[in-house]
Structures are given as C-alpha cells and as structure tokens.
C-alpha cells in the first residue's frame, strides 16, 4: 500500500475546500462590533470571513459557514485535547489539531476494509472494474405510443432492409436518413461505449469519462451481443422504438486484482474514513453548541469582495 502519511494533510485540504452546509438551530442576535457569528464562547469576526472568502475564492455566505465549522472544531479541540495543548494558540490551530487527530485515528484503526475498498471501486468502476463494452452506430424509428406499434414496425422493417450490409457507420446513417418515415422520426447516430447493464462512457484525455445516465437495457444487451466490428442486429425493440445496431468497436473488460486495488486506493479509503469521522463529529458539535449569527450578517458578508 502507498504511504498513508498523506491522509492528515489531505484531510486538512479536503476540509479547507469543502462547505459543511448550514448548521441547524442557528439564532440571530446582536453581537459585538465586527463579529459575524458566535459559536459557544468563540467569536467569528467579519475579518476572518473576509480572509477565508478571499483566500479560497468562496462566496461570503459559504465563507461564514466554513468559519463556523472551524469554530466548532476549535471548541471541541479545547474541550477534548490535553490541558495546555491549545492554550495560547489561535482558533484555526486548535481546529487543525483536532483534524490531525482524526487523520491519525483513521490510520491507527487499521488497513482499509474490503467494504471500504469496494465502495471506492464501485464509484471508480471505469478504472478498476469495467465490464466489456460496445461502441455502436444505430438507426431507430422512434415510437412510444403502443397504438402505433404496427406502423412503426413496418417502417423499421424497411429501415432494416435499407441499411443491411452497410460498410460503415456513416453509410448506415446516410442510408437510414433516406428511408420514408411515414410520419415517424428516424434518428441515426453514433453511440458511445455501453456495457450490457447500461452504463455508458467515452474516451477523454487518454482515459474514459462515464456518462450521466444509463442506456436502455434492451439496446445495451443487443449491442453487446454483437461479436465483431461491422456486425449488425436485426430489429431491436426498446422503450424508444425499433433499432438497427451496428458494432463499431468492442472493448474488453478491465478488472484490477485485489492486491493492486489496495495499493492504489488504500490512502483514499483512509482519507474517506477520516472525512466521514469529521462529518459525524461536526454534526454532533452543531447540535451541542449554540450558534448565533449577527443580525446584520448579510450586510457584513456583502462587503466581502472575492476576486
């Protein structure tokens, strides 16, 4: 496994770039001049909010929330860390001490569990557990009205006959567009890689980028049943209509061995463990510590200018 010494600084970077969301049970009141919020006994100054907004390029309201999270951690740090360890240090340093402890706790809890690694593999399936996939060209007679199914199929049969034996995807699309549509929409287009279970992706920057949504399963399974580039299906019915599908390229499966998964994702799994612990602790702190916002916080944050 890669060195895990990066978990603590990575956790600090993650916290610095994230917004914990608005804390519950926030009250508004008049606070001392220049203060934007109070968390228990901790005052959050408007100047602190301005500095966070400027350095991290955050909107003022997001900077307020980040400053409140910082103060919550400072309160907990002073209460839970050894006596004297936070005396005479600034709020940010107290919060950092607690975050560093969370990072160390994540490492000391042991190596990533199979479940923690499996969660990351599911999210990063393109790089670690990619099924076989097919890149295709298709033509479809679109119809989502059951009462028109017989007419749509008749047009699709003419389409299938017209494009049979097309020598390229471009030729299939050209031939499809010349078929009489009888009032139906005939769409012909290239389709990115799709797996048999409907996940789609396309090349990007030397790798692949996942699509935003799943493909129709009838289409996906028919596309992946084609064996060789140039092969075409007969008519394939999906929720959108009747398709003719031509295979352009097959991509074999990619499965990373468990040992390599642990090597490549171990540090990320421990970081996620620490981030989850931070989130759970922050939720508890927000419930336990009263948070007050200056009544004029909108005016205060409106004065912050983010370049």
Give strand pairing partners of 246: 137, 232
151 burial (CB, 10 Å; 0-12 / 13-18 / 19+) is: middle
How many angstroms separate the CA atoms of 152 and 159, rounded?
10
pLDDT at 52: 83
Structure tokens at 56: 């991290």
Whole-prediction pTM:
0.67
How many angstroms separate the CA atoms of 77 and 183, rounded?
70
pLDDT at 87: 45
Name which of 214, 211, 216, 212 is nearest 240 in CA terms.
Answer: 216
Region class of 206: left (phi > 0), else alpha (psi between -120 and 50), else beta: left
DSSP-assigned letters across all residues of 235-260: -EEETTEEEEEEEEEEE--EE--HHH
Query: Which residues of the chain fall short of a pLDDT of 70?
Result: 1-27, 77-97, 293-307
DSSP letter for 294, please: E
Structure tokens at 76: 């907990």
pLDDT at 25: 55
pLDDT at 69: 80
Do 47 and 259 form a contact (C-beta atoms < 8 A)? no
Most distant CA pair in the chain, distance: 84
Size (the chain), residues? 307
pLDDT at 213: 75
Q: Which domains does the chain have, with CATH numbers?
A: 7-121+260-302 (no CATH), 132-252 (3.10.50.40)
User: What residues contact 9, with CB distance under 8 A and at least 6 apart?
Assistant: none
How many angstroms separate the CA atoms of 236 and 243, rounded?
5
Do 114 and 134 form a contact (C-beta atoms < 8 A)? no
């Amino acid at each position: 496994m890669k060195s895990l010494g990066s978990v603590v600084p990575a956790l600090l970077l993650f916290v610095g770039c994230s917004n914990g969301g608005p804390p519950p049970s926030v009250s508004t009141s008049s606070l001392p001049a220049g203060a934007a919020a109070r968390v228990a006994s901790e005052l959050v100054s408007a100047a602190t909010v301005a500095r966070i907004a400027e350095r991290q390029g955050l909107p003022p309201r997001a900077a307020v929330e980040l400053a409140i999270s910082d103060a919550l951690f400072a309160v907990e740090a002073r209460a839970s860390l050894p006596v004297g360890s936070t005396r005479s240090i600034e709020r940010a340093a107290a919060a950092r001490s607690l975050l560093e402890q969370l990072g160390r706790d994540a490492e000391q809890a042991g190596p990533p569990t199979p479940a923690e690694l499996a969660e990351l593999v599911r999210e990063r399936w393109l790089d670690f557990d990619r099924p076989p996939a097919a890149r295709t060209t298709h033509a479809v007679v679109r119809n989502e009205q059951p009462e028109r199914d017989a007419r749509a199929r008749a047009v699709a049969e003419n389409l299938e006959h017209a494009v049979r034996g097309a020598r390229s995807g471009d030729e299939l699309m050209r031939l499809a567009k010349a078929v009489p549509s009888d009032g139906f929409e005939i769409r012909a287009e290239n389709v990115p890689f799709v797996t048999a279970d409907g996940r789609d992706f396309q090349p990007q920057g030397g790798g692949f980028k996942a699509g935003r949504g799943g493909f129709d399963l009838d289409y996906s399974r028919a596309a992946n049943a084609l064996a060789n580039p140039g092969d075409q299906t007969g008519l394939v019915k999906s929720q959108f209509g009747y398709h003719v599908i031509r295979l352009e390229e097959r991509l074999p499966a990619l499965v990373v061995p468990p040992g390599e998964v642990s090597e490549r994702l171990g540090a990320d799994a421990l970081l996620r463990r620490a981030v989850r612990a931070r989130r759970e602790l922050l939720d508890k702190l927000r419930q336990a510590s009263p948070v007050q916002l200056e009544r004029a916080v909108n005016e205060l944050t409106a004065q912050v200018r983010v370049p």
